[in-house]
Amino acid sequence: MEESLISNNEDSTSRNEELDDTEQTCCYTCCNPRGKSHRFVALFFMCFLSFGSYFCYDNPGALEDNFLKDLNITTTKYSLFYSLYSWPTVVLCFIGGYLIDSVFGIRLGANIYVTITLFGQILFASGALFNTFWLMAMGRFFFGMGAEPLAVAQNSYAVLWFKGKELNMVFGLVLSLARFGSAINFWVMQPIYEWVNKTYQGYECLGIVLFIASFTCIFSLLFSVILGCIDKRADSVLNRSQNQNSEIIKFRDILRFDVTFWLVSIVCVTYYVSVFPFISLGKDFFMKKFKMDSEAANIVNSLVYLVSAFASPILGFLVDKTGKNVFWVVVSVVLTTAAHFLLAFTALNPYVSMIFMGLAYSMLASGLWPLVALIVPQNQLGTAYGLCQSVQNLGLALANYIAGNIVDHAGYFWSEIYFITNLCVSLMITLVVWIVDSKKGGMLNMTPANREAYNQNRLEAERDEEEKLIADGSSSVQTSSDFEVRNRYLSRIGAPLPPHYDANVKRLNCSMLS
């Protein structure tokens, strides 16, 4: 009887294995969370999670001359639309990331933040339609409250699905395709304005055009809901929650963040304040210095985002294969400095400078943002990315206002000097990161193979230290099994654990297999 049962079980196992082989079709690999390609289906929706927010963020940049004329405002007042976006997120990005880690989770947090983004854009458009500046200001305030924490949720999704795999490439792709929304904004907003202007004029025309732009936020909300459903199913099928550290981050944990994290945050802010404020003022700059018409100025101003959309997957793949993240950040900062130098001191065709800037922007996104995932534990990543975004937006809020004032009182040449100065600071801090990391073993600038060996050696050293303490007679030391050490190692490098494993248990329980 027992022999027949064993025989039947073996036959059943054999049939299941054959079925598994036949099920590895395109449909299975794409639609089943266990399939090899399923994460790329999630990536598709992930890439467009912030599309609407980035499209609407640069609405003022694409229509700069129309804003100045229709609303009858100065460049300094116009720059407030960007500063008011950034000011609330100085605090709210950090709080938003903390809420993702501790309260909402990624799925609910993303849906809440994209809804707030849509609400802010509707207020902004309503203010323009009725020529009410305070309502437009309030709209940008709410828009920033939603859009920047949404970017934190997007980063957290990327790490959850791709840590230990193609994370550098994914960061570059996600960030650049979101910014591709800004490029499309620069291409289409002026033609839309001219079409609406045939029926409506002045601020009424501007308001209607901004309402049309709001539909991209609805598009992002739809993608957020779909991505949430995909992620929830993956949690259920893969038992993913059992393999993650369930410890909730506390505010005091932030004080224990490594100094390298804070240096990376400074690099982030000093770099991006030389890109985004420049693009917000770029249209008028290109029209005045290079004598371009409105449409041509918008095209060249959008090149940073256009180039990054195509270059980011390639450069991200390069960083995935070579590692050396800090080195690529240095290259990015140097290239961006060269681009601004050409714009400030030469009459060279601006297409050259903007293509350089686009390549550098893509490379920086692929090299810089994954560093946070290497420095901070996974259960604290939402908070860490929120802090990075907060520091970045504090800098952007100040930089937009300062750059607008410089243009009003001294002209575009001195605004370029201001951007170059920020990049020089960014380069110096990046070199400090390189030196500090080198003294700690150089893990951030290793190749992938060396990084994996480094993590394994570190865990083995911890194990040796435990055994040494035990040999010395310390009774307070709790030993780690081979099983526990292996799981801790796999968890640190981002490798997926089998469903019946738990990174926090000390040995395998047979009941977990049933």
Using alpha carbons only, give the angle 345, 351, 354 rounded to the nearest 5 degrees.
75
| Whether residue 461 sits in one domain with residue 433 | no
Q: Same domain, yes or no, for 87 and 189? A: yes
Per the structure, the count of domains in the chain is 2
Write the CB contacts of 382 (distance below 8 Å, at least 6 apart in sequence).
97, 98, 100, 101, 106, 109, 152, 153, 156
Residue pair 169/319 in contact by the 8 Å Cβ criterion: yes
What's the rounded Cα separation, in Å, for the pair 440 and 259?
A: 11
Domain co-membership, 73 together with 86:
yes
Give the per-residue pLDDT at 154.
85
State residue 441 phi and psi, 5-degree precision.
120, -15
Local structure of 447: helix, strand or coil = coil
Residue 322 resides in a domain = yes
Query: What pLDDT, on a 0 to 100 scale, did the predictor assign at position 196?
Result: 93
Q: Looking at 423, 445, 467, which one is the last position of a domain?
A: 445
Tokens read off for 104: 């909402």
Residues 205 and 354 in one domain: yes
Rounded Cα distance between 410 and 144, Å, is: 29
Rg (CA), the chain: 25
Domain range for 209: 46-237+250-445
Q: How far is 164 from 491, CA to CA, in rounded Å? A: 9
pLDDT number for residue 30: 60
For residue 271, tell me if it sits in a domain.
yes
HEC letters along 359-388:
HHHHHHHHHHHHHHHHHCCHHHHHHHHHHH
| Contact in structure between 353 and 242 (CB atoms under 8 Å) | no
434 and 461 belong to one structural domain: no
Helix, strand, coil distribution of the chain in percent, nearest 5: 80, 0, 20
pLDDT of residue 28: 56
Same domain, 213 and 112: yes
In terms of DSSP H, where are the helices of 201-324?
Answer: 202-213, 215-238, 251-254, 259-272, 276-289, 294-301, 303-322
pLDDT score of 3: 46
Cβ contacts of 332 within 8 Å, gap of 6 or more: 271, 360, 361, 363, 364, 367, 368
Q: Could you give the CA distance from residue 366 to residue 329 in angstroms, rounded to a whole number?
A: 9
* Closest to 459 in 3D by CA, of 492, 506, 501, 497: 492
Tokens representing 259 are 């100094």
Tokens 């985004």: give the residue: 276
Q: Are 420 and 475 members of one domain? A: no
Report the alpha-carbon distance of residue 69 to residue 55 in Å, rounded: 22
In a domain, 26, yes or no: no
pLDDT of residue 506: 45
Same domain for 140 and 65: yes
Q: Residues near 6 by Cβ (< 8 Å), separated by ≥ 6?
A: none
Half-sphere exposure of 8 (CA within 13 A, CB side): 5
User: Nearest Cα to 90, choosing from 473, 424, 367, 397?
Assistant: 397
> Is 16 inside a domain boundary?
no
Q: Are residues 322 and 457 in the same domain?
A: no
Burial degree of 205 (CB within 10 A; 0-12, 13-18, 19+): buried
pLDDT in tens, the chain (514 residues): 444 444 444 444 444 444 444 445 656 566 666 666 777 788 888 888 888 998 998 899 888 888 988 888 887 788 888 888 877 777 777 777 777 777 778 888 889 999 999 999 999 999 999 989 999 999 999 998 888 788 878 877 887 777 666 676 777 677 767 777 877 888 899 899 999 999 888 889 999 999 999 999 999 999 999 988 888 887 777 766 555 544 555 666 677 788 898 999 999 999 999 998 898 888 889 999 999 988 888 889 889 888 887 887 788 888 888 888 899 999 999 999 999 999 999 989 999 999 999 999 888 988 888 888 788 876 677 778 778 877 887 888 788 889 888 988 888 999 999 999 999 999 999 999 999 988 888 888 888 888 778 777 777 776 777 677 676 655 444 544 444 544 554 444 444 444 444 444 444 444 333 3
- Candidates 101, 54, 89; CA nearest to 391 is 89
| Residues 106 and 207 reside in one and the same domain | yes
Q: Are residues 179 and 149 in the same domain?
A: yes
pLDDT of residue 218: 94
Q: Does some domain include residue 24?
A: no
Encoding tokens for residue 389? 């975004």
Q: Write down the pLDDT at residue 19.
A: 42
Domain of 176, CATH number, reads: 1.20.1250.20
In a domain, 372, yes or no: yes
Per-residue pLDDT, 12: 47
| CB contact set of 63 (below 8 Å; sequence gap of 6+) | 189, 190, 193, 206, 209
Look at residue 1 and tell me if it is in a domain.
no
- Measured in degrees and rounded to the nearest 5, phi and psi for residue 229 equal -65, -40
Say whether both 476 and 347 belong to one domain: no
Whether residue 6 is contained in a domain is answered as no
Rounded Cα distance, 230 and 57, in Å: 27
Where is the domain boundary, 445, 479, 495?
445
User: Which of 445, 468, 484 is a domain's end point?
Assistant: 445
